[in-house]
Structure 1
Amino acid sequence: MEKYDAIIIGFGKGGKTLAAELGNRGWNVAVIERSPEMYGGTCINIGCIPTKKLVHNAEVTQYRKPSSFEQFAGEYRKAIEEKKALTALLRKKNFDNLDSKDTVTVYTGIASFRSPHEVEVKMGDETLLLEGKKIFINTGASTVIPPIKGLEGNPFVYTSTSIMELEKLPRRLVIVGGGYIGLEFASIFTGFGSEVIVLEGGDKFIAREDRDIAEAVKGVLEKKGVTIHLNALVQSIEHNDAGAVITYKDSKSGEEMHLTADAVLLATGRRPNTQDLHPEAAGVELTERGAVMVDDHLHTTTPNIWAMGDVVGGLQFTYISLDDYRIIKDELFGSGQRTKDDRVAVAYSVFIDPPLSRLGMGEDEARRSGRKISVASIPAAAFPRTRTFDQTDGLLKAIVDTETGEILGCTLFCTQSTEVINTVAMAIRAGKDYTFLRDAIYTHPSMSESLNDLFGLIK
Structure 2
Amino acid sequence: MAYDYDLFVIGAGSGGLAASKRAASYGAKVAIAEGDLVGGTCVIRGCVPKKLMVYASKFSHLYEDAVGYGWSKVEPSFDWQKLVTAVNNEVMRLNQLHINFLAKAGVELFQSRATLVDSHTVEVNGRKITADKILIAVGGEAIKPDLPGVEYTVTSREMFHLKEQPKRLLVIGAGYIAVEFACIMHGLGSQVSVMIRGDRILKDFDEDISSGVKDGMSKHGIDFICNSLAKKFEQTSEGIKITYAEKGKDTESTITADAVLFAIGRAPNLARLGLETADVEVINCEDEDLPRLHGYSVNCAIQVDEYSRTNQPNIFAVGDCTNRINLTPVAIGEGRAFADTEFGNNPRVFSHHEVASAVFSQPEAGTVGLSEAEARQKYGDAVKIYRARFRPMFHSLTGADEKVTVKLVVDSNTERVLGAHMVGENAAEIIQGIAIAVKMGATKKDFDATVGIHPSTAEEFVTLR
- TM-score, normalised on structure 2? 0.89
CA offset at residue 380 of structure 1?
4.0
What SS class does the counterpart of residue 282 from structure 1 fall into? coil
Matching of residue 295 in structure 1 with residue 305 in structure 2: yes
Structure 1, unpaired ranges of 5+? none
Go from structure 1 to structure 2 and tell me whether the alpha carbon gap of 1:185 and 1:293 turns closer, same or farther (over 3 Å shift).
same
Residue 92 of structure 1 is aligned with which of 71, 91, 96? 96
What SS class does the counterpart of residue 147 from structure 2 fall into? coil
Go from structure 1 to structure 2 and tell me whether the alpha carbon gap of 1:301 and 1:72 turns closer, same or farther (over 3 Å shift).
farther
What SS class does the counterpart of residue 128 from structure 2 fall into? strand
Matching of residue 259 in structure 1 with residue 269 in structure 2: no
1:104-131 residue CA offsets vs partner (Å, 9 max, x unmatched): 2111112111111111113xxxx22111
CA distance in 2, matches of 1:423, 1:175: 32
CA distance in 1, matches of 2:99, 2:177: 27
Residue 292 of structure 2 is matched in structure 1 by none
Residue 31 of structure 1 is matched in structure 2 by 32
Go from structure 1 to structure 2 and tell me whether the alpha carbon gap of 1:198 and 1:67 turns closer, same or farther (over 3 Å shift).
farther
CA distance in 1, matches of 2:204, 2:3: 48
Residue 354 of structure 1 is matched in structure 2 by 363
CA offset at residue 217 of structure 1?
1.7
CA distance in 1, matches of 2:165, 2:353: 41
Go from structure 1 to structure 2 and tell me whether the alpha carbon gap of 1:115 and 1:412 turns closer, same or farther (over 3 Å shift).
same
Residue 123 of structure 2 is matched in structure 1 by 120
Residue 265 of structure 2 is matched in structure 1 by 269
Query: Does the Cα contact within 8 Å between 1:173 and 1:265 map onto a contact in 2?
Result: yes
Query: Does the Cα contact within 8 Å between 2:452 and 2:460 map onto a contact in 1?
Result: no
Query: Does the Cα contact within 8 Å between 2:229 and 2:247 map onto a contact in 1?
Result: yes
Go from structure 1 to structure 2 and tell me whether the alpha carbon gap of 1:429 and 1:205 turns closer, same or farther (over 3 Å shift).
closer
Residue 221 of structure 1 is matched in structure 2 by 217
Residue 108 of structure 1 is aligned with which of 111, 119, 124? 111
Residue 60 of structure 1 is matched in structure 2 by 59
CA offset at residue 344 of structure 1?
3.0
CA offset at residue 235 of structure 1?
0.4
**Which stretch of the first structure deviates more once superposed, 137-146 or 253-262?**
253-262
CA offset at residue 2 of structure 1?
8.3
Residue 12 of structure 1 is matched in structure 2 by 13
Paired residue total = 440
CA offset at residue 395 of structure 1?
1.4
One-letter amino acid of the structure 1 residue matched with residue 102 of structure 2 = L
**Which stretch of the first structure deviates more once superposed, 349-358 or 204-213?**
204-213
Query: Does the Cα contact within 8 Å between 1:375 and 1:397 map onto a contact in 2?
Result: yes
Structure 2, unpaired ranges of 5+? 65-72, 285-298
Go from structure 1 to structure 2 and tell me whether the alpha carbon gap of 1:196 and 1:335 turns closer, same or farther (over 3 Å shift).
same
- TM-score, normalised on structure 1? 0.90
CA distance in 1, matches of 2:437, 2:25: 34
Matching of residue 199 in structure 1 with residue 195 in structure 2: yes
**Which stretch of the first structure deviates more once superposed, 264-273 or 283-292?**
283-292
Query: Does the Cα contact within 8 Å between 2:26 and 2:343 map onto a contact in 1?
Result: no
Go from structure 1 to structure 2 and tell me whether the alpha carbon gap of 1:28 and 1:447 turns closer, same or farther (over 3 Å shift).
same
One-letter amino acid of the structure 1 residue matched with residue 20 of structure 2 = A
One-letter amino acid of the structure 2 residue matched with residue 402 of structure 1 = S
Root-mean-square deviation (Å) = 2.2
Greater relative CO, 1 or 2 (CA 8 Å, sep 6+):
2
CA offset at residue 417 of structure 1?
0.9
Residue 441 of structure 2 is matched in structure 1 by 431
One-letter amino acid of the structure 1 residue matched with residue 109 of structure 2 = V
CA distance in 1, matches of 2:312, 2:389: 51
Query: Does the Cα contact within 8 Å between 1:347 and 1:359 map onto a contact in 2?
Result: yes
**Which stretch of the first structure deviates more once superposed, 158-167 or 24-33?**
24-33
Q: % of aligned pairs identical?
A: 30
CA offset at residue 67 of structure 1?
7.3
CA distance in 2, matches of 1:386, 1:362: 28
What SS class does the counterpart of residue 165 from structure 1 fall into? coil
